[in-house]
Amino acid sequence: MATDGLAGSAGAWVLGTFGVYLLLLLGIGLYSSRLMDSVDDYVIGGRSIGPVVTGFSERASEMSGWLTLGVPSDAFGTGVMAFYNGLGMIPADLFAWAGLAKRLRKYTEVVKAVTLPTFFETRLQDDTGLVKGVSAFVLMIFEGGYVGAQIVAAGTLLEVLTGVSSLVGILGGGVIVVGYTMLGGYFAVAWSDYLQGAIILAAFIILPVIAFTNYGLPFGELASVGSSYTSVTAGMTGWAAVFGIISYAAIGLGIPGNPHVMVRFMGIDEVKNVRLAALVAQLFMFVAYIGAGFVGLYALVVFGQGGIEDPNNVMPMLTLEFFPGAIAGIILAAALAAMMSSADSQLLVATSAIVEDVYHGYVNPAASQEDLVRYSQFVTLGLGAASIAFAYLAQNTSIYTLVLDYAWGGLGAAIGPTLIASLWWKRVSAAGSVASMIVGTVTMVLWTQLSTILELVGLLGAVEGSAFLTGLVGVYGLFPAFILSTLTLIVGSLLTTPPEGVDDHFDTFDKPLPALSSADDPTGTPEYVTDGGRDVAPKAVTETDTIRAHVTASDYWETGEE
């Protein structure tokens, strides 16, 4: 059965390695289950994940199938213009680490928020529950769909490689993802992402190097295939080229709004480690994007234009060309697993939106930590089952339409502007944020269907007669959706009453966490604030926390006064 797939005899290695890998993930989940005492542990790892694992997992959770299949496919189809995939992503992710990570990490620990909706509610001082409710609803819808899309991608690739039914891949991969996420929560997700990211990064370094030793630089060969492959605009001119470049750059706008990326900032062990984690993430992304682009270019050189029927198979086919079956099997199994590295993170975020934001926030605010962890596991199981069912029903739908046009773009347009404003703009209000989330969501969904809508109302012909309008209608929807969402946020906030005492809240961004340990602090800072632990059931996880906890427990200062 395995020999019917693209991998041929290597298909058995792919299946065998993939099976071993899945068992390893289950082992990580079982081990991680011993470390969970509270919902903080389940959702953000108790803020105890180190910088290297955080940096790798932040990138692995976001790039996954898009990096392993999408970018090589894009380079195979368009040539060097595919390097623009990093045009928006690299500066956007750098901005997120430099401008958002420390502020979000500090603020969420001070106010004991483990999800973005709870953070929004606290920061915007919204006592109506509207901000939390709308943002949690957006997260559940888009992240749930995101999980299904990743499982579809893994199942489809397994079918193409080995010849097994896609249903086997969907069920096998889906059950394992749900299983280890349910068992180990954020600990399992972060460590499995680290492992997957390391293997994928190694593959995208080694593949171009081997290709270079065999073929030299690819640009001369590409020019002989077609001048558009070496053109920085893929042969496009005028407005088509302008909007084409804008579309690539706009992909980066999705980073601040995607909670499975932002949660890495909240889960890092110490604020001072943000810089090292950022360095790891940026190196990972830079090398991976360059390597993935060259994989697509070398595939053109090796197989020729039209030599690969389905461009999504570019990376697998080049791997099979250069590596013996056993090693190719390991790399391709890692490519499958990389898609699951996104699915697990998104599953966890959707779970937290239901349990922490909806159940704990509205239904039972007095729920115990033990109950919240148990309910989180049940919800992960239920959401996972629903995602597997969705994956089966949507297996013939374009993966990248589901991911880029709806999930990634929807979250970016709906959540991104409010998150940035909450951390940097004192004037932002709850009403402005809710309006912004609604406008961003609706615009992203409608823009994706804009051509169909224009055709229905009889305006498509007029649009096609203008180069500018044709380019505008075809631009990636996150670009207009993010702009409209931001404008709505600004106008809505200026027209409504801002929260009070924001100056005190912003002071927290400029102080180290231990300096905020005052019960009288207007931000509601608890007496026991850690940098790597939490104030609920104090649990020392850093040396500083250990010393502080011992001093507090000894009553040293009270004794000294006597």
Q: Report the sign of the C-alpha dihedral through residues 78, 400, 54, 170, in that order.
A: negative
Q: Over the Cα atoms of the chain, what is R_g? A: 24
| 562 residues of the chain, pLDDT tens digit each | 445 677 777 777 777 877 787 788 778 878 877 777 777 778 777 788 889 989 888 888 777 777 887 888 889 988 898 888 887 888 899 999 999 998 898 888 877 788 888 889 988 989 888 998 899 888 888 887 777 777 777 777 777 777 777 777 777 777 777 877 777 788 888 888 888 788 888 888 999 999 999 999 998 888 888 888 888 888 888 888 898 889 888 888 999 988 888 888 888 888 888 999 999 999 988 898 899 999 999 999 999 888 888 777 888 888 888 888 778 877 777 777 677 767 777 787 888 888 878 888 778 888 887 788 888 888 888 887 887 777 677 666 666 666 777 788 899 999 999 999 999 999 999 999 999 999 999 999 899 888 888 888 888 888 888 888 888 888 999 999 999 999 999 999 999 998 887 887 787 777 766 666 544 554 554 444 445 444 444 343 444 554 555 555 555 555 544 4
- CB-based contact 119:111 (threshold 8 Å): yes
Helical pair 325-352 and 130-162, crossing angle rounded to 10 deg: 160
Token pair belonging to 272: 């001072």
CA dihedral 259, 64, 58, 96 (to 10 degrees): -70
Nearest residue to 39 via CA among 528, 382, 377, 539: 377
505 phi, psi to nearest 5 deg: -65, -45
For helices 166-215 and 10-32, the axis angle rounded to 10 degrees is 110
Angle 59-135-184 (CA atoms, 0-180°, nearest 5)?
A: 50
**544-553: Cβ within 8 A, 24+ apart:** 544/514, 548/514, 552/528
The DSSP secondary structure of 362-399, one letter per residue, reads II-TT--HHHHHHHHHHHHHHHHHHHHHHHHHTTTS-H
Task: Indicate the pTM of the whole model.
Answer: 0.82
CB hemisphere CA count around 261 (13 angstroms): 29
* Residue type for position 146: Y
For 505-523, letters b (16+ CB in 10 Å) and e give bbebeeeebeebbeeebeb
**Crossing angle, helix 369-393 and helix 325-352, to 10 degrees?**
120
Which of helix, strand or coil describes residue 327?
Answer: helix
Q: Check: CB of residue 207 under 8 Å from CB of residue 291.
A: yes
Compute the distance between CA of residue 45 and CA of residue 344 in angstroms, rounded to an integer. 14
CA angle 393, 24, 344 (to 5 degrees): 40
Are residues 185 and 375 in contact, defined by beta-carbon separation less than 8 angstroms? no
Record the tokens describing residue 450, joined without a space: 């804009």
DSSP state of 216: -
Q: What's the burial of 465, exposed, middle or buried (CB within 10 Å: 0-12/13-18/19+)?
A: exposed
Name the burial class of residue 537, with classes exposed (0-12), middle (13-18) and buried (19+) by CB atoms within 10 angstroms of its CB: exposed
